[in-house]
């Protein structure tokens, strides 16, 4: 069986999560909006899930909105907060997830919102000074990824929040990749996105936390569920699942991050020693514990992936949203890599619970790169 090292794309559902959510498909199947005992049992589970999420994120329970995943949460945060503000300027960066960039483009095309892509350096880091220079009096929102999904660079979220707040601008953090690896509370974020399938909950589960004082225009209208911010009958089982997964990940986070980071560092060092010309992308130290991303000059990333899979290693060339594409990564282009070099990218994202060294994987990488390079 292949070793799966594409955990930034998705993770398996944890057994504890399956066990926690199962009763809400059968015994406790009620609609939480129904005012009878069957509905009230579901409502109680939903309230409990909301409180558990709030405890991890450091927000009020009423700030938590359950969604269908990271893409919906990012869309809702950006469109909802910008349109709710009445202002016409958004600040983000060019290295964000496609759901952020496409939401910004939508606001420009249909609502005349100006978008500034604050510059990042060659590690993918957004400095507080660069953010400050991008803000205007009419800025409605800053939307930044806490940790990049391709190169793993981690932003100084608290410093960025302080800069935004000094100008009276709220900060939205896309924490989809950060959850389970980095602290989520106490960062000063006004809105935060989490996706369940990155932390051991099912696909189709997500969280958007929005501080209640902020004007917010919902994407979905109807029965007024989720305090009017996301209409539709709530997915109680999904809410229980993501709350359980998030709480488990937070309990394990510090120990897992330290242990996995040590394995990652040894892996990176071995790959660099074995593969001439290999380069690490992203910040050398301020990176997700489980992310090791490389470019291999003179190769093609997608071809290297095929060679790796032949050797029992499953990884990716970047975002799962662009899987199979031979196009250069917009993230790598934005940090200054040339087009051809960007097409050689390979990303390894490690799982929680990893304990063995990755020496065998590093050897497989060297073999795969050599095999691809020998073809000219």
- Select from 278, 306, 303 the least CA-distant residue to 293: 278
Q: Which long-range contacts (CB under 8 A, 24 or more apart) does 329-332 make?
A: 329/150, 330/94, 330/95, 330/101, 331/95, 331/124, 331/148, 331/150, 331/151, 332/150, 332/151, 332/281, 332/295
Q: What is the DSSP letter of 293?
A: E
| Comparison of pLDDT for 42 and 326, the residue scoring more | 42
Q: How many residues would you count in the chain? A: 376
- Select from 352, 320, 145, 356 the least CA-distant residue to 245: 352
101-120 confidence digits (pLDDT tens)? 999 999 999 999 999 999 99
Burial degree of 335 (CB within 10 A; 0-12, 13-18, 19+)? buried
Q: Is the pLDDT reported for residue 324 higher than 60?
A: no
- 3-8+253-373: what fold? 3.90.1150
Query: Residues 238, 245: contact at Cβ < 8 Å?
Result: no
Residue 245 a catalytic site member: no
| Chosen CATH of 15-249 out of 3.40.50.720, 3.40.50.1820, 1.20.58.760, 3.40.640.10 | 3.40.640.10
What is the mean predicted confidence (pLDDT) over 263-284? 98
Least confident of 124-138, 143-157, 248-262, 307-321: 307-321
Phi, psi (degrees; rounded to nearest 5) at 103: -65, -40
| Plot region of 107 (φ>0 → left; ψ -120 to 50 → alpha; else → beta) | alpha
State residue 360's pLDDT score. Answer: 97
Confidence tier at 321 by pLDDT (50, 70, 90): low
What is the mean predicted confidence (pLDDT) over 182-194? 98
**154-189: string of b/e by CB count within 10 Å (b at 16+)?**
bbbbeebbebbeeeebbbbbbbbbbbbbbbbeebbb
State residue 212's pLDDT score. Answer: 87
- Select from 227, 233, 232 the least CA-distant residue to 211: 227
Average pLDDT, the chain: 96
State residue 373's pLDDT score. Answer: 78
Return the domain boundaries, the chain: 3-8+253-373, 15-249
Q: What is the DSSP letter of 62?
A: G
Query: Residues 127, 283: contact at Cβ < 8 Å?
Result: no
Q: What's the rounded Cα separation, in Å, for the pair 38 and 35?
A: 8
120-138 confidence digits (pLDDT tens)? 999 999 999 999 999 999 9
CA distance between the termini of the chain: 30
Query: Residues 207, 172: contact at Cβ < 8 Å?
Result: no
274-311 confidence digits (pLDDT tens)? 999 999 999 999 999 999 999 999 999 999 999 999 99
Q: Is the pLDDT reported for residue 376 higher than 60?
A: no
Q: In the sheet that 279-280 helps form, which strands lie side by side, from edge to edge?
A: 279-280, 291-295, 345-349
Q: What's the rounded Cα separation, in Å, for the pair 335 and 341?
A: 12
- Percent of the chain residues topping a pLDDT of 90: 94
Per annotation, catalytic residue among 185, 262, 321, 323: 321
Confidence tier at 326 by pLDDT (50, 70, 90): low
State residue 171's pLDDT score. Answer: 98
State residue 271's pLDDT score. Answer: 98
Q: Which long-range contacts (CB under 8 A, 24 or more apart) does 132-137 make?
A: 132/163, 132/166, 132/167, 134/91, 135/91, 135/163, 135/164, 135/167, 135/169, 136/89
State residue 188's pLDDT score. Answer: 97
Q: What's the rounded Cα separation, in Å, for the pair 243 and 65?
A: 12
Q: Is the pLDDT reported for residue 195 higher than 80?
A: yes
pTM of the complete model:
0.95
Query: Residues 283, 121: contact at Cβ < 8 Å?
Result: no
Q: What's the rounded Cα separation, in Å, for the pair 259 and 376?
A: 39
Query: Residues 90, 114: contact at Cβ < 8 Å?
Result: yes
């Amino acid at each position: 069986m292949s070793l799966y090292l594409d955990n930034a794309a998705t993770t398996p559902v944890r057994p504890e999560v399956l066990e926690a959510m199962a009763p809400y498909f059968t015994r406790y199947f009620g609609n939480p909006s129904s005012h009878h005992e069957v509905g009230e049992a579901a409502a109680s589970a939903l309230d409990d899930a909301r409180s558990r999420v709030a405890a991890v994120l450091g927000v009020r329970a009423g700030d938590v909105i359950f969604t269908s995943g990271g893409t919906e949460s990012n869309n809702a945060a950006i469109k909802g907060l910008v349109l709710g503000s009445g202002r016409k300027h958004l600040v983000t960066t060019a290295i964000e997830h496609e759901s952020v960039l496409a939401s910004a483009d939508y606001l420009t095309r249909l609502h005349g919102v100006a978008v500034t892509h604050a510059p990042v350096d060659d590690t993918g880091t957004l400095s507080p000074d660069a953010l400050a220079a991008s803000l205007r009096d009419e800025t409605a929102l800053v939307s930044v990824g806490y940790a990049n999904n391709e190169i793993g660079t981690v932003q100084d979220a608290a410093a960025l929040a302080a800069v935004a707040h000094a100008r009276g601008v709220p900060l939205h953090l896309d924490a989809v990749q950060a959850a389970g690896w980095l602290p989520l509370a106490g960062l000063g974020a006004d809105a935060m996105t989490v996706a369940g399938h990155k932390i051991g909950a099912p696909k189709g589960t997500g969280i958007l936390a929005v501080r209640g004082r902020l004007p917010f225009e919902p994407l979905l209208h109807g029965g007024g569920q989720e305090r009017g911010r996301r209409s539709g009958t709530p997915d109680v089982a999904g809410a229980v699942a993501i709350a359980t997964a998030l709480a488990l990940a937070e309990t394990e986070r510090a120990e897992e991050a330290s242990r996995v980071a040590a394995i990652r560092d040894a892996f990176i060092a071995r790959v660099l020693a074995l593969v001439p010309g290999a380069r690490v992308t992203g910040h050398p130290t301020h990176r997700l514990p489980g992310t090791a991303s490389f470019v291999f000059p003179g190769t093609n990333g997608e071809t290297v992936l095929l060679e790796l899979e032949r050797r029992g290693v499953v990884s990716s060339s970047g975002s799962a949203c662009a899987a199979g594409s031979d196009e250069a990564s917009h993230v790598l282009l934005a940090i200054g890599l040339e087009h051809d070099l960007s097409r050689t990218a390979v990303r390894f994202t490690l799982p929680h619970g990893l304990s063995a060294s990755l020496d065998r994987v590093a050897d497989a990488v060297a073999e795969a790169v050599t095999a691809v390079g020998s073809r000219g």
